[in-house]
Every structure is written in structure tokens, then in C-alpha cells.
């Protein structure tokens, strides 16, 4: 079954500021009318769904009677799930356009209730299938060819048998989702719409609002004193609410503990990885590999220190531009064409569809008051097309984010076109391959075109910043997530103070604080409260593994292995028709080996070598 809600989040929220252009430039907003022509049409569709969805109950206690009844039940469930995805996407994207609009908050909350109610209705399906003898299930597959589309689902369900509960227990767990979504919803509303973020007057005389996206922008200002003041003000405000953020995150972790214990797993991490059959060794090996290569990360930090010409590199320096006076700024039209040009190695078909998405209102481009910060791609509207949320402000980082999210959108486009709905949804583990693949193509294309040293230095450092942000920072997050879950699972309480202490120790280790690589002010280690990904249940490690996989694939492409193009497009079209590890093996990437990570480190070292040659 397609159980993935295909909303893929960017690894770091991109910048957001008020934009007058956003209010009038209709061409650069979503056309949500492609989903429903109006709010009234959405309400009507929701009402119809609510009245019909309980029809699924007519199959209760009948699934073992014949192959035909099993197919009809699974197919009706697929249809209802598809409608639910469509309803949910419209409501959530309307809310994300203005998180302060009560009407769309209500829409979004109504959909949560509707989804929970529907999950309770279909809670009989999996336990009832698992009560059927395995031989009978396989004989059904032989008897009715229509069941072929559900074969992978049925085989995977049998794998999960020991963690599937009785019908009544499954219904209780489905109803519990109504409470389980609370911590993240509170975090989202509080941190995006209601937290009283500080205002700061910069040395230029400009007064800026340091909300999450404002911080993401102004932490990179050229003036060093301003950077420090931005960090002091932003994290000082977060620290004021440390206990509140701690209570929210601890509540979310307790939710994870409830679910892993209810289903008979040994830990939260085991439950998270088991869903997509990811070996635990992949997670632990990532952390071990990154920790054993912190010297490479420290080389990057020392290079940044050298280029900034500072005696001591501070944490507030890590986002600073290193090429003074170089202003790489792009209009959205320039950004679109840069991204499209960089995708040429993937062939005319890929480029044509990408252009269609760029210019047919798949994207909500500009930041506006109340709009959700960051960026994501939503590919869960199966019969329409993907949608992309951006907060574009013209920096190269924004161009790269556009390439990233378009990679997700293209993955969804190909999967939805080539797969039936039950196997169209793909796992996050493979999703980030498509996005980071596009980012790498973009940077390589730009480096092939731009020859002056200053511009190349800027782009090469931007590329290194991707390694920092996607490999090292996300693995740091993954290790933090593992540590705080382990603490809670041992019965220890997590307070805001405890969460900050764990984060402090970890960030100082990664940034080489004791070795004098980067000075970390304890005032800034409340940073964990800024990261929404900690609410996504062991999500972030997949940024790092996917970046390693895509780097490995791009290296093969650059070596002239032409078969990679065909294999890669087939990979994008495979959806969730197999386990993520197997899908990557089909395109030549073995994530159970160290080869992808070793290749990634080599590319990072090679990039630093080139920077040092230019500096010499």
C-alpha cells in the first residue's frame, strides 16, 4: 500500500523575508485549483469522503474467503487513501501559505481527525490478512492477476507480522494518533506564528526581524559584529523558552516510546528503521564513519577560518561568506534557467518535465507574512502533479534549494506516472538521493561555466557547505536524536536543560571545540529547539546517506558511465516497488558498504584541494 505521505523537507530552512512581489506575482504561486477549484469544492469532497469511506467495512471478516474479495478490499482502500492524500495536501498547503489563518488551521486539523477516523475504520485489514494462512495468500496471488500490484505490500505485511496487533489494538493505536500529532503541531504553530522573535538593528541601520527564517538569512551577514549580535539575540530568545521547547520535544519522544513498546520493538530506532527494512548497521555505521572523519570536517572549518582571516573561528562565523565583495544574486527566472540547464545530462525528457514544473505553477516561490518557513516538495497528490514550497530570496543557496526540491518533485512525477498508486509512494531513504543529485549537477554545471577565481571560490565553498550541512550536521543531528531517545528509553526525564546539555557536548565534539578548531559559546547550544526535524522520528540521517549515494552516482556519471542515466531514470520510476536498499543496489549503490561514504569524503577532500590551489 502507498503509506508514505510524500512531503519531503529541505535539510535546512532557507531564508524568508517579507516580499511585496509575492503578493502580486501570480505566476510564482501555487495553483492549488489543480487539486480543488475552491475551498467549497474541498469541503464538498471531504463531506463525500466522510460519507462513503465507511463502505470499506463491508469487507470485514471476508478477506480470507477469496482472492477477488481481497483485491476489492485493497483496491477500495487504495482509492480512499488516494482521496485522503488529496484532501490532506490541499488543507496542509493552504495552511502553510499562512500559518496564522485560523480557517486553514481548522482545515488541517479536520484532516487529521478524518485521517485518524479512517485509519480506525481500516484497522481490521492487516490483522485479518495476517490471520490468513500464508499458503492461501500466495495462492490468491496466483488466482487473481489483479493482486499483482499488491504483491509487495502483502509480502512486506508478512515480514511485519510479529509487530502487527489485533484488530481492536490496531484501532486503539489509530485513534491514539489524534493525540500523537500534538507535540509537533504545537511546536509548528508556536515557532512559526506566535513566538515573539526579537528585532535587531544592524550596523547598516536596517532593523530586521529575527524569526527562524530571518535568522537563517542574517546569520550570514558580512559584518562579524552583526553576526554575533544575530546569534546572541536569536538564541537568547529561544533560551527564554527552553523549558517550553523541551516539554514539546520530550512529549514527542514519549510518543515514539509508546509506539515502539506497543508494537513489540526493542527501541524507537528499531521501529523507525524496520518500516522500510533498513539495517540498523546503516545508521550506526554512518555515525561511526562521520566520527572517524571529523578531521576532514575540521579541515573544512580551518579553511573557512583562513579565508575569513580570523584568529579564532567562532560558531557565528560558520555561515559567513568567505569571498568578500562577491554578490551572487539571482532573480527567480535566472534561477529556474540555471537549474534547468544543469539538468541536461539527464536527457531531454527529464528536462522537458522539469521545465513544465517550473513554469506551470507547481511552485510557491516567495516568502510572505505567516508563510511556513523553509522548503519542501509534496508529491502525494497522485492524479495531479507535485508541488514545491520555497522562500526564495535570490541567493545561490535558494537556487540550490530549488534544484533540491525539484529533484523530489521529479521523483514523485516519475513514480506517480509509472507506478500504480499502491507502489508509487517511496521511502525518505531514497527520496533524498534525487534531490541531492540535482544539487550536485547544479554546482558542477556552474563550475564548468565560471572561470574567475573569486566566483569559483564562492561556489566551491558553497559546495563544501553542502557537505557540512548535509553529511556532518545532519549526522550530528542523527546522533543527537539517538542519544536523547536512549536517555528517555532508560527512564530518565528530558528537560530543556538536559536537552541543551546533550546538544552542547555533541556540537563541541563535532566542531573540535577542545582542539581549538571552532569556539562554541554555550549560549548558542539551545539550537536544538530551532530544528523541526527532531519531530520526524529518525528522519535526518537519511539526508547524509542519500547525499553519499547521490555523490557516488554523480561520480560514476562524470566518469562517463552512460548506462547510469537509464538506470537512474528507472530508479526514479520505481517508487516504492521494493525496499530502499534494493532500489539503490539496482542503480549500483550498496549502502550497506562503506564505498559511497568513502567516495563522498574523497570528493570533499578533492574540493578542498582545489580551493587551496586557488588560494596559493
Please give the backbone phi and psi of residue 519, each rounded to the nearest 5 degrees, phi first. -85, 125
- DSSP 8-state class, residue 361: T
Q: How many angstroms separate the CA atoms of 80 and 54, rounded?
A: 10
Q: How many CB atoms lie within 10 A of CB 194?
A: 11
| CA proximity to 352, closest of 27, 34, 569, 587 | 569
Q: Which of 128, 405, 432, 481 is the catalytic position?
A: 405
| CA proximity to 377, closest of 80, 1, 2, 4 | 4
215, 234 Cβ separation under 8 angstroms: yes
Q: How many angstroms separate the CA atoms of 461 and 288, rounded?
A: 25
Q: Which helix (H) or strand (E) holds 598?
A: helix 595-615
Secondary structure (3-state) at 204: coil
Could you identify the residue written with the cell 530502499? Answer: 580
User: Which residues partner with 338 through β-bridges?
Assistant: none
Answer yes or no: 405 catalytic: yes
Q: How many CB atoms lie within 10 A of CB 205?
A: 6
Q: How many angstroms separate the CA atoms of 414 and 357, rounded?
A: 13
Residue 336 Cα distances to 173, 205, 578, 614, angstroms: 44, 33, 33, 29
Burial of 186 (0-12, 13-18, 19+ CB in 10 A): middle
Dihedral, 345, 347, 353, 354 alpha carbons, nearest 10: 10
Q: How many angstroms separate the CA atoms of 588 and 154, rounded?
A: 27
Q: How many angstroms separate the CA atoms of 83 and 592, rounded?
A: 37
Secondary structure (3-state) at 3: coil
Cβ-Cβ contacts under 8 Å for 315 (sequence gap 6 or more): 231, 507, 511, 518, 519, 520, 521, 524
Per-residue HEC secondary structure of 16-49 comes to CCCCHHHHHCHHHCCCHHHCCCCHHHHHHHHHHH
Question: What are the residue numbers of the active site?
Answer: 405
Amino acid at each position: 500500500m502507498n503509506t508514505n505521505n510524500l512531503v519531503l523537507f529541505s535539510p535546512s530552512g532557507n531564508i524568508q523575508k517579507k516580499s511585496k512581489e509575492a503578493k502580486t506575482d501570480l505566476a510564482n504561486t501555487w495553483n492549488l485549483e489543480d487539486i480543488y477549484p475552491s475551498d467549497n469544492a474541498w469541503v464538498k469532497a471531504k463531506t463525500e469522503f466522510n460519507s462513503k469511506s465507511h463502505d470499506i467495512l463491508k469487507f470485514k471478516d471476508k478477506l480470507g474467503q477469496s482472492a477477488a474479495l481481497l483485491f476489492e478490499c485493497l483496491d477500495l482502500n487504495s482509492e480512499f487513501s488516494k482521496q485522503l492524500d488529496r484532501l490532506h495536501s490541499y488543507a496542509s498547503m493552504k495552511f502553510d501559505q499562512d500559518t496564522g489563518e485560523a480557517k486553514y488551521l481548522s482545515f488541517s486539523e479536520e484532516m487529521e481527525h478524518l485521517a485518524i477516523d479512517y485509519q480506525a475504520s481500516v484497522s481490521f485489514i492487516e490483522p485479518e490478512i495476517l490471520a490468513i494462512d500464508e499458503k492461501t495468500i500466495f495462492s490468491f496471488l496466483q488466482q487473481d492477476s489483479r493482486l499483482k500490484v499488491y504483491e509487495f505490500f502483502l509480502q512486506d505485511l508478512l515480514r511485519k507480522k510479529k509487530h502487527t496487533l489485533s484488530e481492536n489494538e490496531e484501532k486503539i493505536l489509530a485513534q491514539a494518533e489524534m493525540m500523537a500529532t500534538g507535540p509537533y503541531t504545537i511546536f509548528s504553530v508556536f515557532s512559526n506564528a506566535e513566538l515573539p522573535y526579537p528585532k535587531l538593528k544592524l550596523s547598516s541601520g536596517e532593523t530586521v526581524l529575527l524569526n527562524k527564517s530571518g535568522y537563517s538569512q542574517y546569520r550570514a551577514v558580512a559584518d562579524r559584529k552583526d553576526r554575533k549580535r544575530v546569534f546572541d539575540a536569536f538564541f537568547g530568545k529561544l533560551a527564554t523558552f527552553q523549558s517550553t521547547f523541551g516539554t514539546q520535544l520530550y512529549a514527542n519522544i514519549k510518543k515514539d516510546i509508546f509506539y515502539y513498546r506497543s508494537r513489540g520493538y526493542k527501541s524507537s530506532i528499531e521501529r523507525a528503521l524496520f518500516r522500510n527494512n533498513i539495517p540498523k548497521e546503516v545508521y550506526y555505521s554512518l555515525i561511526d564513519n562521520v566520527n572517524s572523519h571529523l578531521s576532514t570536517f575540521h579541515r573544512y572549518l580551518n579553511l573557512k577560518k583562513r579565508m575569513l582571516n580570523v584568529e579564532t573561528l567562532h560558531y557565528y562565523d560558520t555561515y559567513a561568506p568567505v569571498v568578500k565583495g562577491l554578490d551572487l544574486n539571482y532573480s527567480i527566472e535566472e534561477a529556474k534557467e540555471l537549474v534547468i540547464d544543469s539538468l541536461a545530462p539527464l536527457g531531454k525528457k527529464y528536462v522537458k518535465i522539469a521545465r513544465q514544473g517550473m513554469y506551470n505553477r507547481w511552485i510557491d516561490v516567495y516568502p510572505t507574512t505567516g508563510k511556513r518557513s523553509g522548503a519542501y516538495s509534496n508529491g502525494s497528490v497522485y492524479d495531479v502533479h507535485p508541488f514545491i514550497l520555497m522562500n526564495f530570496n535570490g541567493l545561490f543557496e535558494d537556487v540550490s534549494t530549488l534544484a533540491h526540491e525539484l529533484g523530489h518533485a521529479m521523483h514523485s512525477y516519475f513514480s506517480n506516472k509509472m507506478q500504480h498508486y499502491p507502489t508509487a509512494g517511496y521511502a525518505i531513504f531514497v527520496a533524498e538521493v534525487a534531490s541531492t543529485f540535482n544539487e550536485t549537477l547544479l554546482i558542477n554545471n556552474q563550475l564548468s561555466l565560471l572561470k574567475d577565481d573569486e566566483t569559483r571560490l564562492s561556489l566551491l565553498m558553497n559546495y563544501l557547505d553542502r557537505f557540512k550541512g548535509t553529511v556532518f550536521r545532519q549526522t550530528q543531528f542523527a546522533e543527537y536524536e539517538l542519544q536523547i531517545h536512549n536517555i528517555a528509553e532508560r527512564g530518565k526525564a528530558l528537560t530543556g536543560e538536559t536537552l541543551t546539555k546533550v546538544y552542547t557536548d555533541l556540537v563541541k565534539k563535532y566542531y573540535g571545540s577542545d582542539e581549538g578548531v571552532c569556539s562554541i559559546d554555550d549560549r548558542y547550544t539551545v539550537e536544538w529547539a530551532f530544528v523541526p526535524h527532531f519531530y520526524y522520528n529518525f528522519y535526518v540521517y537519511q539526508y547524509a546517506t542519500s547525499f553519499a549515494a547521490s555523490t557516488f552516482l554523480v561520480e560514476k556519471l562524470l566518469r562517463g558511465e552512460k548506462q547510469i542515466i537509464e538506470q537512474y531514470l528507472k530508479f526514479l520510476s520505481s517508487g516504492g516497488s521494493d525496499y530502499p536498499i534494493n532500489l539503490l543496489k539496482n542503480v549500483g549503490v550498496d549502502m550497506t558498504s562503506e564505498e559511497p561514504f568513502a567516495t563522498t569524503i574523497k570528493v570533499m577532500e578533492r574540493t578542498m584541494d582545489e580551493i587551496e590551489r586557488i588560494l596559493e
